[in-house]
């Protein structure tokens, strides 16, 4: 049995054990400097090396083109829901594709800063699919088009990014990829800006990653706080004010861990993606084969990271969670807004953790189904 | 000799060794939960206990009255320079007392959100004193009056908070106490809102503390992002979005460490303050007695936390820093805007560290003065 429980939390979420061990070992003395990372001046050479390595490793991992700037910011995904329109809307039209709870929040927040419109919305059908881009009512004068490429609560994922230019739309695509960043490649030719809270696949809460094409910098509204003006942050190389240094350090350790992954002849992000495909298939197959468990999401839009499911007999929920916990499978309770169960199987969840959950699904059904 | 160097960084700054050891020991398993703090759901019972303890310990430490709300936020002090006026200005008059680089930044940023005025400004004399409140040109219709109670770069500290009501001013006093928070008591009867970046006296960068009287909540401008609306954050008990959980955890360990301090019959914050007074006196006395070192700040306004000083012979600067580093005294270089040296002697700096610096001042002067 695994020494620690398998933690299926949607975020903050599990981190690779090797990363945690490294962070603990270096807590009082980073690389012989005599200083812990939390104690270093952000302007000193030691932290400079940490920041530089984190950015260059991330660029390598995600194949980020040189025309994109990497910003290490604060405020989380919800913060970016305001910071994106403060920087990109110019007070004009903002088009949002609503595919779940997160893009619905983005729509609501953006309304403070421009003329928002939901150009597609799957609410009526319970957010179980990705609407075909050809049907999006994108406006010609949109300042940007926002999509959440993985809905953490509803378990819906874009497996291909929309090609806005093919729709005759020149607006930049903004993707909220908080809950699946670094789990698969990103087609940068279709993206203007990507943002992600760190606390799911990257590191500790409080760090927010923004990857923005340089052509989008420099148009912030007057009301935009300096620390959230992308152009100013880019100009200062994420050091306009003290960045969340510990979060950047841990994220950097995670990036190195991801780059070192190997799977069936693949390496780095390709290996990570292959493993994520395998893990998701194991879990969805177990759910689909059962009589007790249900996942309602269109198979073409099912998230590899967040797998919501429910028991047909909801009176068994508490027993399901209690017996899971006895086996060391924790944080499986679904989000309060949708109920049921949710297994978040981020990059750091080993295949063994998914197999242990599949065993529990089978054993529990055999006993109670 | 001390195993680790004495770190005089202005921030991020040294943390108590016991806190670092505790954080390292609990990295993979907090209190038998099997989860590291970075991996916990912020909505789970474990983090709930961490957050609750951090707030109640801080309330005890600083004797915060019940009418004040404690908010754990993100974005740093520079972020608050925008977030304060977004919440309090109502687009009206904002009065700022400029006593150094930080309040000058606050003045500049607040201009985006209201009609700002520097009601006192010590720039002409090089920011070496605190101007008497009786001379402040405070406006009767000011939405708030901003002071930076400890200027990290210029080494100027308010040793008594201004009594705005005695000046006939009913506006709330806003204090930026980033670099001396938790080093001394705060007279809450004179304060409407206090904010502090954590990375000097409290914990890791990326956590921002806001302590606000409840009467000031609920007046945010429409442009204020939800995650920075004090009323919304207070209502959600700092959980409107995922808070910087690791930062709150480390800050909580620091609060417990501060509460446990003892000094000559005193305990908690009184003990910490007594030790800070002793440390500052040791260092200023050594500077004042020397022929080589100078601190220009009005003795009545000298900071107990940040001690800038310069060598009369500036050609000795590099040698001073190199020989200090050989003795394990690091991060003594002054801020680039003022040059010279700066010793930041926050709560976590032991008396022994200050004594070691005093020895170095004496020895270096004997050799080179």
Share of chain A above pLDDT 90, in %: 98
What integer is the mean pLDDT of A203-221?
97
* Cα–Cα dist B339/B333, whole Å: 8
pLDDT tens, position by position, B155-207: 999 999 999 999 999 999 999 999 999 999 999 999 999 999 999 999 999 99
What integer is the mean pLDDT of A175-192?
98
B280 and B212 in a common domain: no
Residue A12 lies in a domain: no
- For the annotated catalytic residues of B, the residue numbers are 102, 176, 200
Q: Is the pLDDT of residue A262 over 90?
A: yes
B106 and B124 in a common domain: yes
Residue B13 lies in a domain: no
Residue A5 lies in a domain: no
Q: Are A210 and A80 in contact (CB under 8 A)?
A: yes
Residue B1 lies in a domain: no
Q: A230-239 long-range CB contacts below 8 Å, 24 or more apart?
A: A230/A69, A230/A71, A230/A83, A230/A87, A231/A87, A233/A71, A233/A73, A234/A69, A234/A71, A237/A51, A238/A51, A238/A70, A238/A71, A238/A72, A238/A73, A239/A42, A239/A43, A239/A51
* Cα–Cα dist B338/A64, whole Å: 39
* Alpha-carbon distances, residue B22 vs B28, B249, B350 (angstroms): 12, 11, 18
Banded pLDDT at A2 (limits 50, 70, 90): very low
What integer is the mean pLDDT of A142-167?
97
pLDDT tens, position by position, A42-80: 999 999 999 999 999 999 999 999 999 999 999 999 999
The CATH code of the domain that includes A67 is 3.40.640.10
- Please give the structure tokens belonging to residue B169: 């001013």
CB contact under 8 A, A205 and B243: yes
A249 and A269 in a common domain: no
Nearest to B165 by CA among B129, B198, B140: B140
CB contact under 8 A, A13 and B39: yes
* Alpha-carbon distances, residue B296 vs A286, B288, B302, B320, B362 (angstroms): 73, 10, 9, 19, 19
pLDDT tens, position by position, A313-322: 999 999 999 9
A282 and A240 in a common domain: no
Residue A9 lies in a domain: no
B220 interfaces chain A, CB cutoff of 8 Å: no
B117 and B90 in a common domain: yes
* Cα–Cα dist A150/A148, whole Å: 6
**Nearest-by-Cβ selection for A39 from B13, B227, B243:** B13
Averaged pLDDT score across all residues of chain B: 97
B313 and B203 in a common domain: no
pLDDT tens, position by position, A28-46: 999 999 999 999 999 999 9
Degrees, nearest 5: CA angle A169-A175-A181: 145
A13 interfaces chain B, CB cutoff of 8 Å: yes
Residue A24 lies in a domain: yes
Degrees, nearest 5: CA angle B13-B322-B201: 10
B251 and B344 in a common domain: no
Range of the domain at A352: 263-368
* Radius of gyration, CA atoms only, chain A: 21
Degrees, nearest 5: CA angle A7-A9-A12: 110
* Cα–Cα dist B16/B35, whole Å: 24
* Alpha-carbon distances, residue B299 vs A362, B150, B250 (angstroms): 74, 14, 34
Q: Of the candidates A231, A259, A287, which is a domain's last residue?
A: A259
Q: Of the candidates B216, B233, B259, which is a domain's last residue?
A: B259
Nearest to B86 by CA among B109, B117, B120, B67: B109
The CATH code of the domain that includes A288 is 3.90.1150.10
B213 and B67 in a common domain: yes
Nearest to A39 by CA among B298, B39, B52, B15: B15
* Cα–Cα dist A249/A53, whole Å: 9
**Nearest-by-Cβ selection for B206 from A9, A226, A244:** A244
Judged by DSSP in three states, A347 sits in coil
> According to the model, what pLDDT value does residue B31 have?
96
- Please give the structure tokens belonging to residue A120: 């597609």
Residue B62 lies in a domain: yes
* Cα–Cα dist A348/A18, whole Å: 10
Q: Which of 144-183 (B) contact A at CB < 8 A?
A: none
* Cα–Cα dist A151/A178, whole Å: 9
Residue A74 lies in a domain: yes
CB contact under 8 A, A20 and B13: no
A123 and A143 in a common domain: yes
B191 and B308 in a common domain: no
Q: Of the candidates A225, A259, A293, which is a domain's last residue?
A: A259
CB contact under 8 A, A24 and B21: no
Q: Which of 81-140 (B) contact A at CB < 8 A?
A: 81-83, 86, 109, 112-113
Banded pLDDT at B369 (limits 50, 70, 90): confident
B18 interfaces chain A, CB cutoff of 8 Å: no
A268 interfaces chain B, CB cutoff of 8 Å: no
Banded pLDDT at B245 (limits 50, 70, 90): very high
* Cα–Cα dist B37/A204, whole Å: 9
A202 and A278 in a common domain: no
Supply the ipTM of this predicted assembly: 0.97
Q: Is the pLDDT of residue B2 over 80?
A: no
CB contact under 8 A, A78 and B241: yes
- For the annotated catalytic residues of A, the residue numbers are 102, 176, 200
Residue A170: DSSP 8-state = -
- Concatenating the DSSP letter of every residue in A230-265 gives HHHHHHTTT-SS---HHHHHHHHHHHHHHHT-EETT
A7 interfaces chain B, CB cutoff of 8 Å: yes
Count of structural domains within chain A: 2
B185 and B65 in a common domain: yes
B34 interfaces chain A, CB cutoff of 8 Å: yes
Q: Is the pLDDT of residue A1 over 60?
A: no
pLDDT tens, position by position, B54-111: 999 999 999 999 999 999 999 999 999 999 999 999 999 999 999 999 999 999 999 9
> According to the model, what pLDDT value does residue A369 have?
74
Mutation choice for B interface testing from A221, A244, A327 by most B CBs within 10 A: A244
pTM: 0.98
- Please give the structure tokens belonging to residue A76: 């989380």
Chain B positions touching A221 (Cβ under 8 A) are: 223
Q: Which of 305-334 (B) contact A at CB < 8 A?
A: 328, 330-331
């Amino acid at each position: 049995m695994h020494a620690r429980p398998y933690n299926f939390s949607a975020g903050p979420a599990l981190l690779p054990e090797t990363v945690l061990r490294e962070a603990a070992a270096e807590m009082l003395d980073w690389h012989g400097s005599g200083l812990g990372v939390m104690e270093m001046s952000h302007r000193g050479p030691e932290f400079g090396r940490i920041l530089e390595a984190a950015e260059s490793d991330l660029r390598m991992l995600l194949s980020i083109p040189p025309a994109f700037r990497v910003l290490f910011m604060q405020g989380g995904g919800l913060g970016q829901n305001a910071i994106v329109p403060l920087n990109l809307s110019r007070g004009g039209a903002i088009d949002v594709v609503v595919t779940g709870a997160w893009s619905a929040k983005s729509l609501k927040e953006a309304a403070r800063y421009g003329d928002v419109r939901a150009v597609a919305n799957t609410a009526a059908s319970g957010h179980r699919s990705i609407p075909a881009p050809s049907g999006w009512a994108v406006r010609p004068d949109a300042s940007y088009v926002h999509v959440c490429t993985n809905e953490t609560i509803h378990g819906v994922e874009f497996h291909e990014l929309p090609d806005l230019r093919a729709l005759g739309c020149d607006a930049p695509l903004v993707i909220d990829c908080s809950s699946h960043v670094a789990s698969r490649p990103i087609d940068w030719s279709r993206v203007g800006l990507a943002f992600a809270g760190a606390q799911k696949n990257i590191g500790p809460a409080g760090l927010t990653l923004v990857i923005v094409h340089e052509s989008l910098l420099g148009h912030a509204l007057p009301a935009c706080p300096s620390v959230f003006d992308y152009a100013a942050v880019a100009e200062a190389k994420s050091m306009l004010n003290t960045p969340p240094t510990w979060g950047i350090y841990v994220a950097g350790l995670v990036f190195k861990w991801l780059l070192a992954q190997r799977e069936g002849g693949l390496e780095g992000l390709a290996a990570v993606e292959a493993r994520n495909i395998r893990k998701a298939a194991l879990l969805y197959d177990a759910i689909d084969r059962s009589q007790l468990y249900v996942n309602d999401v269109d198979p073409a839009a099912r998230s590899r990271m967040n797998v919501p499911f429910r028991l047909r007999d909801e009176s068994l929920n508490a027993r399901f969670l209690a017996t899971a916990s006895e086996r060391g499978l924790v944080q499986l309770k679904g989000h309060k807004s949708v109920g049921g169960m949710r297994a978040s199987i981020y990059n750091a969840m080993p295949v063994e953790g998914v197999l242990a959950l599949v065993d529990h699904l089978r054993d529990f059904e055999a006993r109670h189904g």
